Structure 1
Amino acid sequence: MSAASSISSPAPQGSAFRQGFMLVVATAFLVLLGLVLPHGDSGVEFRDWLMARPLFVPLLITLWIIVVVEGIAGFSATPDALPDRLRRLLFTVFLPPLRMITASSKPEGWLWLPRVGWQPTGEETSERLEQKLALPMVVLTLLVLPVLGAELTAGETLENHPRMALATHLTTCVIWIGFTMEFLWMVAAAPDKLSYCLKNWINLVIILLPLVAFLRVLNAFRFTRMLRAGKLLRAYRLRGLWTRVWRVVLLFNLLERLQQRDPAKYCAVLEKKIGDLEEELATLKGKLAEQRGKTGLE
């Protein structure tokens, strides 16, 4: 069944300008948040300087107020059930970056994409979105390598090199913002959101670790001190890099394309796969016959 066939409500007719404007607002909030989060060994001085700027907190509050007002204004713009609208409103009020993918006025089962418009959520939209984001996200994830190089080379003395510390912090911010935006879009488009989160838990950990490290009330715990030292962040970034590269290999069938360059070897690979499948099929048939014998079914 296609994603579109599972949608009972008609396609939304919401203003593209409104959706685009709120996307900019939610993204701006996420960027400001990303700049002040601890992403490893670097950026302490810059984050303290940024949070001390007179306009930083007012700007963050202004963006939040825009999200709240827009959410309240659009509360009655969709015929969805009251609990669904209220849930989406609360999500965006308490987590403004979620306004990228949801709103009180957004009908259930639909997602607004930049330059595309309203699309039904589900497997088809999720696959198209993954294919469009796969290569850009790999390029973004590769920025992990110079960041790790800077952190491991300079170590705890990174803050003694202000320019390198600032560049490292800003690069990790870009990585974190990109991971967060991609994860939100993919979760919103996925037919089974919980399954997607479980399957891509490594990305979720990379997103949440800086948020946990930001909670100063947890400073007494060794776990948080390890986060601030960047040890866990580096480990999960490397694992995330490997996971993402492997997903791209599978997504675009790169291994199969390489094998096709040698017809003889490719035929051997196909024959082996067929043999494995036939063996598995024979095993399943045997189990099925055994179970039918136990239950007396023909």
Structure 2
Amino acid sequence: DYLRAGDDLTTDFWEIFIVDPQHHPVGTCMLSWVLRTRRDVPMADIMKREQTLIPVDMDQEEVALRFQKYALISAAVIDQAGRLVGMITVDDIVHIIQEEASEDVLLMSGAGDEGDINQPVLDSYRARVRWLIVNLVTALLPATIISLFGGAIEKMVALAALMPIVAGVGGNAGTQTLAVTVRALATNQLTQSNRWRAVGREIRVALLNGVSIAAIIGLAVAIWFANPVLGGVIAAAMLTNIVMAGLAGALVPLVLERAGADPAVASSIFVTMTTDSMGFLLFLGIAVASGLVG
């Protein structure tokens, strides 16, 4: 009867939050329970005392994770004194998840956390240019490595044609691992107890991928250039770089998180620097060490 007569109640709700005289939540009751229970039965007899309470200052991403973990439809929101101040429903969480996912994608691309096409030009410029500058600085390392092997490249032009393949495939492998790791961190799947097991898993996956890709590229290069040694060199470099890419894609986000930085913001820049640098260094270094070029 109170629910029917309460004009000040919210329009949509699925459960009732029962409070004590101090307005502290003491239990919840689904609407279906109320409808199926006789009028003379007290709410205290049918309510569920265990409930998930949401502090009013909790980050919205953490709220979404809590809804996912406990399969909640709605939850009570409390202030610092533990008093009920409102509620949040699964409809609200859907919007939060969409916002957080869009923000993570934009941060990983270095486009800032807004990414609105109506954002002022100067704001977009400031959000993006700082990461482009960082990227420019990190790109100097691969360029330096290439310059060290300038003489070898001059003697065998095929090295210049093939070395972007090693770096590019390694970069893609690192991005795959990076995406999995960042998502696992965002959803709290990675904890102190299982993170090294997850790193080991990613290395094993990278090793299997490396063996497969190295066999394909090694055979193709040996046949195309009629040079088995060159095929062996690129196969060894490819295998090692993909494994290094898997290691970097798993470790860089963990290191950034430990340092207090957002792994979604800067991980891709450092992973790309690692795969490019190691790709060029491994391929050109093995080519020189093997005697392929004098």
TM over 0.5: no
Which structure has greater helix proportion? 1
Q: What TM bracket, shorter-length normalisation?
A: under 0.3
Q: Which has the larger radius of gyration?
A: 2
Given the two structures, how large is their TM-score scaled by the length of structure 2?
0.25
Q: Whose RCO is larger (CA < 8 A, sep 6+)?
A: 1
